[in-house]
């Protein structure tokens, strides 16, 4: 491995960085072959590499700068109806229950598996262990939501139109890919490990990560189709697929920046090239945004992927009460029976999404503002 170098760093911040985040960014800047680091306003501490960070290299691939939920992302699509249809508590309860049945949080809740596209089932993975994971987990976890910050939300735009926004990723498959290849990566200092894109090992990771990214995208599409069935049955409304916006925020790919081909890793950051549409969620009780990229080179044409955590999960569970959840979710339909499980996902556990938007005004422009109407989260 080459000697450590000191990269350039550009930041778009919604507030001061904690000492832990600053230290993690300094470690990343001096990692071998890191050419440039861009820090998004939703940055927060995570294992090895912070969430809300973009890293460019010339040939080394850092699986930890992508994370375990490879391909995690967002899908938004409008319906041909008005959000006021959910004002009736009985209708809202029916839709919430229907989504809960149609979109299980985990494989143990799955009554029957949904079919996957042939390009997923027929594409080879690099190792028999990953093939076994695909057979074991892939079929039953496809189109499941997961827990934590993954969600299905029905929203209203400024004109009152009903929209779907959902957030989920590659489930156990992305984690299996990350773990398998980290075992084959070389330590480059501290806890960081890297693979060389010019080697067979590096190419194997890139191919498997690309597969996990496609799996996550297909899974989101299948979830959206299941939600459409619920909305059609109860509201007689269809999804308008020509309005769909699909983005992911945990990936690595070869991109050209300032005349150079670089491996751009995004962990909790979405691509935002000039004119490119994106989805920027708030917390489950606050506004979300559709945005359009401005192609800012210093950010490697990137944007925040959401509000970003203000409190760790453990801190949120210490400080956020059931009363806080109830107050902060006022006006949004959700399953109050799971309120205790949602304390670490309460709006106050996240940064102010409006501050995030202001901090990155030169990265994206807002094209649509949406308010939450109904929120469904899987619980552990």
pLDDT for the residue numbered 4: 53
- What span, in angstroms and rounded, lies between the C-alpha atoms of 306 and 279? 8
How far, in Å, are 13, 19, 346 from residue 44 at the CA level? 11, 11, 17
Residue whose entry in the numeric block shows the structure tokens 């695909």: 134
| Residues 30, 85: Cα–Cα separation, whole Å | 54
CB distance 95 to 235 below 8 Å: yes
Average pLDDT value for residue range 297-304: 98
pLDDT in tens, 246-259: 999 999 999 999 99
Output the CA–CA distances (angstroms, integers) from residue 188 to 20, 95, 199, 270, 324, in the order listed.
Answer: 20, 50, 16, 26, 44
Residue 1 is predicted with a pLDDT of 44
Residue 6 has what pLDDT?
Answer: 73
Quick check: 346 pLDDT over 60? yes
Instruction: Count CB neighbours of 352 within 10 A.
Output: 18
Average pLDDT of the residues in 24-44: 97
Residues involved in catalysis: 305
- CA–CA separation, 249 and 300 (whole Å): 13
Q: Rounded distance, CA 307 to CA 288, Å?
A: 9
Q: Of 283, 281, 253, 280, which is closest to residue 266 (Cα–Cα)?
A: 253
pLDDT of residue 183: 97
Q: What are the sequence ranges of the domains in the chain?
A: 8-376
319-328 pLDDT, tens per residue? 999 999 999 9
> How many angstroms separate the first and last alpha carbons of the chain?
41
Q: Residue 137 pLDDT more than 90? A: no
- Could you give the count of Cα atoms lying within 13 Å of 327 in the half-sphere of its Cβ? 6
Residue with tokens 């559709």: 290
Q: Which two tokens stand for residue 90?
A: 């009985």
86-127 pLDDT, tens digit per residue, is 999 999 999 999 999 999 998 766 667 788 999 899 999 999
Cα 226 to chain centroid distance, Å, stands at 20
Kindly give the interhelix angle for 171-182 and 200-235, rounded to the nearest 10 degrees. Answer: 170
Q: What is the mean pLDDT of the segment spanning 52-57?
A: 98
Q: Residue 333 is encoded by which pair of tokens?
A: 């339909």
What is the reported pTM?
0.95
d(CA 262, CA 273): 15
- Partners of 304 in beta bridges: 269
Provide the 10 A C-beta neighbour count for residue 90: 7
Three-state secondary-structure class, residue 185? coil
Backbone φ, ψ for residue 60 (5° rounding)? -85, 140
Distances (CA, A) of 344 to 172, 283, 318, 322, 379: 22, 11, 9, 11, 11
Q: State the pairing for strand pair 51-57/260-267.
A: antiparallel
CATH topology for the 8-376 domain: tRNA-splicing ligase RtcB (3.90.1860)
- Calculate helix-pair angle for 89-102, 200-235, nearest 10 degrees: 150
Length of the chain as a residue count: 380
- DSSP assignments along 335-355, one per residue: -GGGGGGGGGGSGGGB--HHH
Share of the chain above pLDDT 70, in %: 97
| Across 145-149, 203-207, 358-362, least confident range | 145-149
Hey, what are 243's tokens? Answer: 């309005």
What separation in angstroms does the CA of 92 have from each of 62, 226, 264, 339, 375? Answer: 44, 17, 42, 17, 10
Q: What would the two tokens of residue 78 be?
A: 């409008």
Task: Reply yes or no on whether the pLDDT at 227 is more than 60.
Answer: yes
**72: its two tokens:** 């995690």
Residues 141 and 173 sit within 8 Å (Cβ to Cβ): yes
Model pLDDT, residue 2:
46
Strands (E), 45-92: 51-57, 60-61, 73-82
Residues 217-224 have a mean pLDDT of: 97
């Amino acid at each position: 491995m080459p000697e450590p170098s000191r990269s350039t760093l550009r930041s778009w911040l919604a507030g001061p960085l904690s000492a832990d985040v600053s230290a993690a960014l300094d470690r990343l800047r001096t990692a071998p072959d890191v050419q440039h680091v861009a820090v998004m306003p939703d940055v927060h501490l995570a294992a090895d590499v912070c969430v809300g960070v973009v890293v460019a290299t010339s040939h080394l691939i850092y699986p930890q700068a992508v994370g375990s939920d490879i391909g995690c992302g967002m899908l938004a699509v409008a319906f041909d109806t008005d959000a006021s249809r959910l004002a009736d508590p009985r209708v809202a309860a029916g839709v919430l229950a229907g989504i809960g049945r149609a979109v299980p949080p985990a494989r143990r809740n799955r009554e029957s598996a949904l079919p996957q596209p042939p390009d997923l089932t027929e594409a080879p993975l690099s190792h028999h262990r990953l093939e076994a994971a695909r057979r074991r987990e892939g079929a039953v976890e496809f189109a499941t939501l997961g827990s934590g910050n993954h969600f299905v939300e029905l929203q209203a735009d400024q004109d009152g139109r009903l929209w779907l926004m959902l957030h989920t990723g590659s489930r156990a498959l992305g984690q299996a890919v990350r773990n398998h290849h980290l075992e084959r990566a070389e330590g480059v200092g501290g806890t960081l490990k890297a693979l060389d894109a010019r080697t067979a090992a590096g190419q194997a990771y890139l191919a498997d990560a690309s597969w996990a990214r496609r799996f996550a995208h297909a899974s989101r599409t299948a979830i959206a189709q299941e939600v459409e069935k619920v909305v059609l049955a109860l509201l007689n409304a269809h999804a308008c697929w020509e309005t769909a916006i699909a983005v992911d925020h945990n990936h690595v790919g070869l991109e050209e920046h300032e005349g150079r081909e670089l491996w751009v890793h995004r962990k909790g950051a979405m691509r935002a090239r000039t004119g490119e549409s994106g989805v920027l969620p708030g917390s489950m009780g606050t506004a979300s945004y559709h945005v359009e990229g401005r192609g800012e080179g210093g950010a490697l044409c990137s944007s925040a992927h959401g509000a970003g955590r203000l409190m760790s999960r453990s801190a949120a569970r210490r400080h956020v009460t059931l009363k806080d959840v109830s107050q902060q979710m006022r006006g949004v339909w959700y399953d109050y029976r799971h309120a205790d499980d949602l304390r670490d996902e309460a709006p106050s556990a996240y940064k102010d999404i409006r501050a995030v938007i202001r901090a990155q005004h030169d990265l994206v422009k807002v094209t649509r503002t949406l308010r939450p109407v109904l929120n469904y989260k899987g619980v552990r």
